[in-house]
Amino acid sequence: MKPTNTLQYKNYLCQVSYSNLKDSLIGRIVGMKQIPTFTAQTVAGIKESFHRSVDDYLTACEETGKEPTKPFTGMYTLRFHPAVQEALTVYALANSTTLAHIMQKALDEYIENHKIPMPEKNGEEN
């Protein structure tokens, strides 16, 4: 398995980077502007900070009655050349399908061709 710079906990994904200026690890939860970045000196420390940040966020949401933001909703805005959009839309209409369906098929093919592992339903924790 290829090493990564990510951690996963309760379906939240953390990107970890190293700061040579601070000689520390920096964690950022992907897609979650509500949770600030956090730092630690060790891998164990960054995992602990990540887990605590997610748990604190979920507790705060529960206490305030707010629905927690889900970082991966299945919706993503794509930007591409207008001619590509037009060509694919014309093709979709002529073939009784949708642009969204064409894009999903293209992404599925890409995932398969590049052997990209898909996450488990509940998300592998580390």
Provide the Cα torsion 61, 63, 65, 66; round to 10°: -10
What is the C-alpha to C-alpha distance for residues 67 and 25, in angstroms, rounded to an integer? 30
Question: Is 123 inside a domain boundary?
Answer: no
Please tell me the pTM assigned to this model: 0.71
| Same domain (yes/no): 49, 13 | yes
pLDDT at 126: 57
| Same domain (yes/no): 49, 89 | no
Q: pLDDT-based confidence at 3, cuts 50/70/90? A: low
Question: Count of domains in the chain?
Answer: 2
Give per-residue pLDDT as tens, 65-80: 999 988 888 888 889 8
Say which DSSP state 18 is in: E
pLDDT greater than 60 at residue 98: yes
| Same domain (yes/no): 16, 58 | yes
Question: Is 100 inside a domain boundary?
Answer: yes
Report the candidate in 80, 114, 83, 82 with the shortest Cα–Cα distance to residue 2: 114
Question: Is 122 inside a domain boundary?
Answer: no
How would you label 59-77 residue by residue, b for 16+ Cβ within 10 Å and e otherwise? Answer: eeeeeeeeebeeeeeeeee
| Same domain (yes/no): 60, 86 | no
What is the C-alpha to C-alpha distance for residues 88 and 98, in angstroms, rounded to an integer? 9
| Same domain (yes/no): 60, 105 | no
What is the C-alpha to C-alpha distance for residues 39 and 56, in angstroms, rounded to an integer? 16
Coil, strand or helix at 70: coil
Give per-residue pLDDT as tens, 31-90: 888 788 899 999 999 999 999 999 999 999 999 999 998 888 888 888 989 999 999 999
Question: Is 74 inside a domain boundary?
Answer: no
pLDDT greater than 60 at residue 92: yes
| Same domain (yes/no): 95, 58 | no
| Same domain (yes/no): 14, 59 | yes
Residue 88, domain extent: 82-113
